[in-house]
């Protein structure tokens, strides 16, 4: 199991939170992601399915696409993806196909989580790659951002 120190995980999660705030500023669900390789952020993204009219425009997918462009390959080996919300099944499967080494996420998604809340894509038998997944990094801050966003939308 590959595990970086908590200080680095928190630092990169704070960067993902900045992208989540950018999503909220334009009316998107505040989820942000950064892709890290060799201790450098090589790509980032935030949710944009509403503005792009694209149901696949999740923060994770945006960061994976950008990372592929930076590396010149769809195989994102030796990378860690930091995301503020537990990925859905689509995003988790994309990480497996991209060969992401680690996933670090902030808060759990009990309605659609694909890293353990509803289903754990990373534990499905027969897959050709395993992603080490860790949840709960800056969980309260990540959860609060989502709670404030949805409270404002409902009022």
Conformational region of residue 72, where left means phi above 0, alpha means psi within -120 to 50, and beta covers everything else = left
Phi, psi of 31 (to 5 degrees): -125, 130
CA distance 153 to 54: 21
Which residue out of 18, 28, 60, 141 is catalytically annotated?
60
Q: Which residues pair with 40 in a beta bridge?
A: 37
Strands 79-85 and 32-37, sheet pairing: antiparallel
| Residue 60: active-site member | yes
Active site residues: 60
């Amino acid at each position: 199991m590959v595990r970086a120190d908590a200080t680095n995980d928190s630092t990169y999660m704070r960067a993902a939170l900045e992208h989540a705030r950018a999503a909220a500023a334009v009316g998107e669900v505040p989820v942000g992601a950064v892709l890290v390789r060799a201790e450098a952020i090589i790509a980032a993204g935030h949710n944009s399915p509403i503005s792009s009219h694209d149901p696949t425009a999740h923060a994770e997918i945006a960061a994976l696409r950008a990372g592929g462009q930076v590396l010149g390959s769809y195989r994102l080996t030796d990378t860690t993806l930091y995301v503020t919300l537990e990925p859905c099944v689509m995003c988790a499967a994309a990480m497996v196909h991209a060969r992401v080494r680690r996933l670090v996420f902030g808060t759990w998604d009990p309605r659609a989580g694909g890293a353990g809340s509803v289903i754990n894509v990373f534990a499905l038998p027969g897959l050709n790659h395993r992603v080490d997944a860790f949840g709960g990094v800056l969980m309260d801050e990540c959860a609060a951002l989502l709670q404030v966003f949805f409270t404002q939308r409902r009022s």
